[in-house]
Amino acid sequence: DTGVSQDPRHKITKRGQNVTFRCDPISEHNRLYWYRQTLGQGPEFLTYFQNEAQLEKSRLLSDRFSAERPKGSFSTLEIQRTEQGDSAMYLCASTGSYEQYFGPGTRLTVT
Amino acid sequence: ILNVEQSPQSLHVQEGDSTNFTCSFPSSNFYALHWYRWETAKSPEALFVMTLNGDEKKKGRISATLNTKEGYSYLYIKGSQPEDSATYLCAFNSGSARQLTFGSGTQLTVLP
């Protein structure tokens, strides 16, 4: 296993369109996290899964955002009706214990 | 609301200089403190996870210390090299939360 992967790496979309990102965690990790990072800030927590169960969601995760981890393996993050304020780097991380291992992120630009 | 502060925000040093950054975090309900290095177009790379007051960890030329009672950690880089140029992030784990709360990072540029 080569680590956490994310797809796509870059996404440019027009305001109002829907986008979906995918995260493939390290295979034996049962916890998976989504974070969002905007310019000049550190990553901010969005949501996390233990296996297939979504256990916590940040207040940053508006009703336009939805995340799934259907079989406790890969996860998807969907943003509906994108807004310019959604432009950010979306990071995924997985862990089996203390240390969270991050993917390279998906950079979203909403025009 | 958990506040994790990092200073300085950015730093330029000459190759060969030693440098250090600060991370301050809430001293109550501490669980773990993480340091990451994040280079452009790459994944954030875990440097250290520190859990005990007084912990000191070292990886090559990089080391870190932890004071949980006063709520701070220092990251030191000895003899900086251009390849050390990156954003260094610290992140706090409280006992009641699984997720990390990040500082805004220190952007280090090492000039050859």
User: For residue B29, what pLDDT is reported?
Assistant: 85
Mean pLDDT of A49-58: 92
A15, pLDDT greater than 90: yes
Structure confidence by residue, pLDDT tens digits, B17-42: 999 999 999 988 889 999 999 999 99
- % of chain B surpassing 70 pLDDT: 97
* Closest partner CB to A48 (pick from B44, B98, B102): B98
Specify the amino acid at residue A73.
S
Query: Which three-class secondary structure string do you get for B15-55?
Result: CCCCEEEEEECCCCCEEEEEEEEECCCCCCEEEEEECCCCC
Structure confidence by residue, pLDDT tens digits, A87-100: 999 999 999 887 89
* Subunit contact B103:A48, Cβ cutoff 8 A: no
User: For residue A1, what pLDDT is reported?
Assistant: 52
Shortest CA gap B53–chain A (Å): 16
Mean pLDDT of A30-43: 94
A45 pLDDT band (50/70/90 cuts)?
A: very high
Task: Check if the beta carbon of residue B22 is closer than 8 Å to that of residue B74.
Answer: yes
Q: Mean pLDDT over all residues of chain A?
A: 94
- Which residues does chain A have within 8 Å of residue B99's beta carbon, measured at their own beta carbons? 33, 45, 48, 56
A97 vs A36, residue with greater confidence = A36
Pick from A5, A46, A3: nearest CA to A23: A5
Check CB contact of A100 with chain B, cutoff 8 Å.
yes
Interface of A with B in 34-73 (CB under 8 A): 35, 40-45, 48, 55-56
Structure confidence by residue, pLDDT tens digits, B85-101: 999 999 998 876 778 99
* Subunit contact B49:A48, Cβ cutoff 8 A: no
Mean pLDDT of B66-82: 96
Pick from B54, B71, B56: nearest CA to B2: B71
Mean pLDDT of B34-58: 94
